[in-house]
Chain A
Amino acid sequence: MAASRSTAKSAETSAATSANPPTSPRALVLGGNRIPFARAGGKYAHASNQDMLTAALDGLVARYGLQGERIGEVAAGAVLKHSRDFNLTREVVLGSALSPETPAYDLQQACATGLETVVSLSNKIRLGQIESGVAGGVDTTSDAPIAVSEGLRRALLDLSRAKSVGQKLAAAAKIRPKDLAPATPRTSEPRTGLSMGEHQALTTAQWGITREAQDEVAFASHQRLAAAWDAGFFDDLVTPYRGQSVDGNLRADTSLEKLAKLKPTFGLTLDAPPTMTAGNSTPLTDGASTVLLGNDAWADEHGLTPLAVVVDAEAGAVDFVHGVDGLLMAPAFAVPRLLARNGLTLADFDYVEIHEAFAATVLTTLAAWESEEFGKERLGLAGAFGTVDRDRLNVHGSSLAAGHPFAATGGRIVATISKELHARKAAEGRPVRALVSVCAAGGLGLTAILEAA
Chain B
Amino acid sequence: MGDTYLNLVNSGVTAKIAKQLGLPQPAPLRRYRPGSPLLGGPALVVGQGTDADAVAALLSTRWDVEVHRHATPELRYAAVVLVLTQVSHPDELSAPVLAAAGVLRSLSRGGRVVTMSREATADDAPAVAAARQGVDGLLRSLAKELRGGSTGNGIVLAGDVAADAPSVVGALRFFLSTRSAFVDGQLLTVSSGAGTLPETWERPLEGRVAVVTGAARGIGESIADTLARDGATVVAVDMPSAGEQLTRVANRVRGTALQLDVTADDAGARILEHALARHGRLDIVVHNAGITRDKLLANMSPDKWDSVLAVNIAAQLRINEALLTSGDFTDAPRIVSLASTSGIAGNRGQTNYAASKGGVIGMVRATAPLLEAFGGTANAVAPGFIETEMTARIPAVTRQVARRLNSLQQGGQPVDVAEAVAFLASPAAGGVVGRVLRVCGQNMVGQ
B247 contacts which of A2, A235, A239 (Cβ < 8 Å)? A239
Cα distance A191–B255 in the bound complex, in angstroms: 51
CB 8 Å contact bits of B238-260 with A (1 = contact, 0 = none)? 00111110111011001111111
Nearest chain-B residue to A67 (Cβ)?
Answer: B254
B251 contacts which of A67, A238, A302 (Cβ < 8 Å)? A67
How far apart are A416's CB and chain B's nearest CB, in angstroms?
Answer: 15
Please determine whether B278 and A238 come into contact, CB atoms closer than 8 angstroms: no
Q: A240-B241, A303-B278, A303-B279 are contacts. A58–B251 as well, Cβ < 8 Å?
A: yes
Cα distance A388–B29 in the bound complex, in angstroms: 69
Whether B341 is near chain A, meaning CB under 8 Å from some CB there, is: no
- A241 CB contacts on chain B under 8 angstroms: 244
Please determine whether B279 and A1 come into contact, CB atoms closer than 8 angstroms: yes
B243 contacts which of A68, A232, A239, A303 (Cβ < 8 Å)? A239
Q: A97-B251, A239-B244 are contacts. A303–B259 as well, Cβ < 8 Å?
A: no
Please determine whether B247 and A305 come into contact, CB atoms closer than 8 angstroms: no
A58 contacts which of B240, B247, B259 (Cβ < 8 Å)? B247
How far apart are A44's CB and chain B's nearest CB, in angstroms?
Answer: 12
Please determine whether B240 and A235 come into contact, CB atoms closer than 8 angstroms: yes
Whether A236 is near chain B, meaning CB under 8 Å from some CB there, is: yes
Nearest chain-B residue to A234 (Cβ)?
Answer: B240
- B244 CB contacts on chain A under 8 angstroms: 55, 59, 239-242
Whether B95 is near chain A, meaning CB under 8 Å from some CB there, is: no
Whether A103 is near chain B, meaning CB under 8 Å from some CB there, is: no
Please determine whether A62 and B250 come into contact, CB atoms closer than 8 angstroms: yes
Please determine whether B251 and A63 come into contact, CB atoms closer than 8 angstroms: no
A62 contacts which of B242, B246, B277 (Cβ < 8 Å)? B246
Please determine whether A305 and B277 come into contact, CB atoms closer than 8 angstroms: yes
How far apart are A33's CB and chain B's nearest CB, in angstroms?
Answer: 9
CB 8 Å contact bits of B178-203 with A (1 = contact, 0 = none)? 00000000000000000000000000
How far apart are A387's CB and chain B's nearest CB, in angstroms?
Answer: 37
Whether A64 is near chain B, meaning CB under 8 Å from some CB there, is: yes
- B279 CB contacts on chain A under 8 angstroms: 1, 65, 303
Q: A1-B279, A303-B280 are contacts. A59–B243 as well, Cβ < 8 Å?
A: yes
B240 contacts which of A65, A240, A302, A304 (Cβ < 8 Å)? A240
How far apart are A15's CB and chain B's nearest CB, in angstroms?
Answer: 25
- B248 CB contacts on chain A under 8 angstroms: 58, 62
Cα distance A64–B244 in the bound complex, in angstroms: 15
How far apart are B233's CB and chain A's nearest CB, in angstroms?
Answer: 6
Q: A303-B277, A303-B279 are contacts. A64–B243 as well, Cβ < 8 Å?
A: no
Please determine whether B278 and A240 come into contact, CB atoms closer than 8 angstroms: no
Whether B261 is near chain A, meaning CB under 8 Å from some CB there, is: yes
Please determine whether B259 and A236 come into contact, CB atoms closer than 8 angstroms: yes
Nearest chain-B residue to A243 (Cβ)?
Answer: B244
- B277 CB contacts on chain A under 8 angstroms: 303-305
Number of B residues whose C-beta is below 8 Å from A?
25
Nearest chain-A residue to B244 (Cβ)?
Answer: A240
Please determine whether A245 and B240 come into contact, CB atoms closer than 8 angstroms: yes
- Which residue of B236, B241, B247, B280 has the most chain A CB atoms within 10 A of its CB atom? B247
Nearest chain-B residue to A36 (Cβ)?
Answer: B243
- A302 CB contacts on chain B under 8 angstroms: 278
Q: A240-B241, A240-B243, A241-B244 are contacts. A65–B278 as well, Cβ < 8 Å?
A: yes
Q: Which 8 A-B pairs have the closest CB atoms?
A: A62-B250, A62-B257, A239-B243, A62-B247, A65-B256, A97-B251, A67-B254, A245-B241
Cα distance A242–B260 in the bound complex, in angstroms: 19
Please determine whether A64 and B241 come into contact, CB atoms closer than 8 angstroms: no
Whether A19 is near chain B, meaning CB under 8 Å from some CB there, is: no
- B251 CB contacts on chain A under 8 angstroms: 58, 61-62, 67, 97
Give chain A's interface secondary structure class.
loop
Identify 17 residue pairs between A and B in the complex whose beta-carbon atoms are under 8 Å apart, listed by A's number: A2-B255, A3-B254, A58-B248, A59-B243, A59-B257, A61-B251, A62-B248, A63-B258, A64-B256, A65-B255, A65-B279, A68-B254, A232-B264, A239-B259, A240-B241, A240-B242, A245-B240
B257 contacts which of A2, A63, A245 (Cβ < 8 Å)? A63
- Which residue of A58, A65, A68, A234 has the most chain B CB atoms within 10 A of its CB atom? A65
Using a Cβ cutoff of 8 Å, how many contacts connect chains A and B? 78
- A234 CB contacts on chain B under 8 angstroms: 240
Other CB < 8 Å A-B pairs besides A235-B260, A240-B244, 20 of them?
A1-B278, A1-B279, A2-B255, A55-B247, A59-B247, A62-B247, A62-B251, A62-B256, A62-B257, A63-B258, A64-B256, A65-B256, A67-B254, A232-B264, A239-B247, A239-B257, A239-B259, A245-B243, A303-B277, A303-B280
- B247 CB contacts on chain A under 8 angstroms: 55, 58-59, 61-62, 239
How far apart are A169's CB and chain B's nearest CB, in angstroms?
Answer: 53
Cα distance A2–B255 in the bound complex, in angstroms: 7
How far apart are A84's CB and chain B's nearest CB, in angstroms?
Answer: 26
Q: A232-B261, A303-B277, A303-B278 are contacts. A238–B255 as well, Cβ < 8 Å?
A: no
- B261 CB contacts on chain A under 8 angstroms: 232
- B246 CB contacts on chain A under 8 angstroms: 62, 239
Please determine whether B254 and A2 come into contact, CB atoms closer than 8 angstroms: yes
- B260 CB contacts on chain A under 8 angstroms: 235
How far apart are A211's CB and chain B's nearest CB, in angstroms?
Answer: 37
Cα distance A63–B274 in the bound complex, in angstroms: 10
- B255 CB contacts on chain A under 8 angstroms: 2, 65
How far apart are B45's CB and chain A's nearest CB, in angstroms?
Answer: 39
Cα distance A367–B53 in the bound complex, in angstroms: 91
How far apart are B212's CB and chain A's nearest CB, in angstroms?
Answer: 14
How far apart are A57's CB and chain B's nearest CB, in angstroms?
Answer: 10
- A64 CB contacts on chain B under 8 angstroms: 256, 278
Cα distance A68–B240 in the bound complex, in angstroms: 24
Cα distance A238–B277 in the bound complex, in angstroms: 20
- B257 CB contacts on chain A under 8 angstroms: 59, 62-63, 239
Please determine whether B256 and A63 come into contact, CB atoms closer than 8 angstroms: yes
- A62 CB contacts on chain B under 8 angstroms: 236, 246-248, 250-251, 256-257
Q: A58-B251, A62-B247, A239-B259 are contacts. A1–B233 as well, Cβ < 8 Å?
A: yes
A65 contacts which of B242, B243, B254, B259 (Cβ < 8 Å)? B254
- Which residue of B240, B242, B248 has the most chain A CB atoms within 10 A of its CB atom? B240
Cα distance A41–B314 in the bound complex, in angstroms: 42
- A303 CB contacts on chain B under 8 angstroms: 277-280
How far apart are B266's CB and chain A's nearest CB, in angstroms?
Answer: 10
- A239 CB contacts on chain B under 8 angstroms: 243-244, 246-247, 257, 259
Nearest chain-A residue to B273 (Cβ)?
Answer: A305
How far apart are B351's CB and chain A's nearest CB, in angstroms?
Answer: 31
Cα distance A304–B339 in the bound complex, in angstroms: 35
How far apart are B271's CB and chain A's nearest CB, in angstroms?
Answer: 13
Nearest chain-B residue to A35 (Cβ)?
Answer: B244
Contacts of A1-19 to chain B: CB distance below 8 A: 1-3
How far apart are B19's CB and chain A's nearest CB, in angstroms?
Answer: 46
How far apart are A39's CB and chain B's nearest CB, in angstroms?
Answer: 19
- B256 CB contacts on chain A under 8 angstroms: 62-65
CB 8 Å contact bits of A46-70 with B (1 = contact, 0 = none)? 0000000001001101111101100
- A238 CB contacts on chain B under 8 angstroms: 240, 243
- B280 CB contacts on chain A under 8 angstroms: 1, 303
Contacts of A215-261 to chain B: CB distance below 8 A: 232, 234-236, 238-242, 245
- Which residue of A62, A64, A65 has the most chain B CB atoms within 10 A of its CB atom? A62
Nearest chain-B residue to A59 (Cβ)?
Answer: B247
Cα distance A420–B279 in the bound complex, in angstroms: 24
Cα distance A248–B255 in the bound complex, in angstroms: 30
- B242 CB contacts on chain A under 8 angstroms: 240
Cα distance A59–B264 in the bound complex, in angstroms: 22
- B236 CB contacts on chain A under 8 angstroms: 62
Cα distance A2–B254 in the bound complex, in angstroms: 7
Cα distance A234–B240 in the bound complex, in angstroms: 9
Nearest chain-A residue to B255 (Cβ)?
Answer: A65
Cα distance A245–B246 in the bound complex, in angstroms: 13
Cα distance A6–B247 in the bound complex, in angstroms: 22
How far apart are B356's CB and chain A's nearest CB, in angstroms?
Answer: 24
